[in-house]
Chain A
């Protein structure tokens, strides 16, 4: 047999029948805490979206007049919404803080050749968050 024929017959296959392949469990995210934390972080997006929709509904009721807004507020006193908003708030906090903490990994800033420390980048996000929250609180509570 010529070399070229040997090479042809011994061609590599990606799907060898005798290799053992383990299926990934549906519950892989329960294997360890970082995986569960990741899934919770991803899940938190749903609650962020819910808060966006809720805020839009609130603005719509506000523009529809005092009666509509009073009805909206009445709805928000419902135990179901109190619980949902409480859980959503916790998830939104988780969402915000985990992404702020991850921001330095995605943003590499250099000043005069030196990399800006991670704490500064994360810290800038927290400061901006506090600033905006303070501004909103001032608008609402003045």
Chain B
């Protein structure tokens, strides 16, 4: 018989359970299998009621984020062999409400993401005939790192500030706001600053730094927030010294 490893999977049925409980599933320990493969094996061969999100299986879609042995991970990029001999504890992403089993409710994140206006804002659109907005490689590099975010929400699950204060905008939303602020084509930084300079915005962050550690795309949301704080502080000083300046 092939070698196996046990997955301790958090199960929660809203119709039946008051709280999640763990269920053990032995799965084949294959060198090329990731945690997501094991979950799909359970769903296909052992227990079809197990519920979880996944899509691309290549670390692009950001759907399969879960807590693996207490750490936020993309399960499509987390190999079983790294946890041998096991067991491996799989739970839904921390700090989010659980809908069922490993599926979390993400509307709070989506609302916050939308609130920071993560799109190009132009004071005035250039006529189409003048062509596209061009950028130099340096202008692209200014924000490229922050544009790699895949909205997987691992950073929220790693952020104790978000856990303690659910009103906090959170790492990914702020990093994406910064991504557009640094884009040479964007003119909406003042609009975003009004939203993010509130207490629940950038000032809620106490620089724990774990968001950056768990980010599978090396976005460095913690760095983005601190850089945003510097910008906000400079803007505040400018408004203090030149109150007649443009709002």
* Chain A residues in the interface with B (C-beta under 8 A): 12, 14, 16, 18-22, 24, 28-29, 31-32, 34-35, 38, 42, 102, 105-108, 113
Tell me, yes or no, whether B28 is within 8 Å of chain A by CB: no
- Distance from B16 Cβ to chain A, minimum over Cβ atoms (Å): 10
* A99 closest partner in B (C-beta): B207
- Complex Cα distance, B222 from A12, in Å, reads 31
A102 to B210 alpha-carbon distance, docked (Å): 13
A17 to B, closest residue via Cβ: B14
| Smallest Cβ-Cβ distance to B95: which chain A residue | A24
Q: For the complex of A and B, list the 4 residue pairs with the smallest distance between their C-beta atoms, beginning with the closest.
A: A106-B226, A18-B14, A19-B97, A105-B223
- The smallest C-beta distance from B124 to any residue of chain A, in angstroms, reads 28
- Chain A residue at minimum C-beta to C-beta distance from B17: A20
Contact A19–B164 (Cβ < 8 Å): no
How many pairs of A and B residues are in contact by the CB < 8 Å rule? 65
Residues of B in contact with A (beta carbons under 8 Å apart): 12, 14-15, 17, 19-20, 70, 94-95, 97-99, 105, 107-108, 138, 141, 160, 163-164, 206-210, 212-213, 220, 222-223, 226-227, 229-230
What is the bound-complex CA distance between A24 and B157, given in angstroms? 12
Q: B27 CB to closest chain A CB, in angstroms?
A: 25
> Which among B15, B138, B223 is the interface contact of A18 at CB below 8 angstroms?
B15
Asked if B105 and A16 sit within 8 Å, CB to CB, the answer is: yes
Assuming the contacts A19-B98, A20-B20, A107-B230, asked whether A38 and B208 have C-beta atoms less than 8 A apart, the reply is: yes
CB distance from B117 to the nearest CB of A (A): 21
Can you spell out 14 A-B residue pairs with CB atoms less than 8 angstroms apart? Answer: A19-B98, A19-B105, A20-B19, A24-B163, A29-B160, A34-B209, A35-B208, A105-B220, A105-B226, A106-B227, A106-B230, A107-B227, A107-B230, A108-B227
Q: Is the CB of A35 within 8 A of B210?
A: yes
B contact residues around A29 at 8 Å (CB): 160
A21 to B98, CA, bound (A): 7
B14 touches A19 (CB 8 A): yes
Chain A residues closer than 8 Å to B97, beta-carbon distance:
16, 19-21
Q: Is the CB of B160 within 8 A of A102?
A: no
**For residue B212, which residues in chain A have a CB less than 8 angstroms away from its CB?**
105
The CA of A22 and the CA of B12, in the complex, are separated in Å by 12
* Cβ A38 vs Cβ B70 within 8 A: no
**Residue of A16, A19, A29, A32 ringed by the most chain B CB atoms within 10 A:** A19
A105→B98 contact, CB < 8 A: no
A residues near B230, Cβ cutoff 8 Å: 106-107
For B97, B227, B230, which residue has the most chain A Cβ atoms within 10 angstroms? B97
Point out the residues of chain A lying under 8 angstroms from B163, CB to CB. 24, 28
Residues on A with C-beta less than 8 A from B108 are 14
Cβ-closest chain B residue relative to A32: B70
Task: Give Cα A31 to B160, complex, Å.
Answer: 11
| Chain A residues with CB under 8 A of B210 | 34-35
B128 nearest CB across to chain A (Å): 31
> A22-B98, A38-B209 given. 15 additional CB < 8 A pairs?
A14-B107, A14-B108, A16-B97, A19-B14, A19-B98, A19-B105, A22-B94, A24-B164, A34-B209, A35-B208, A35-B210, A38-B207, A105-B222, A106-B226, A113-B141
CA distance A20 to B101 in the complex (A): 10
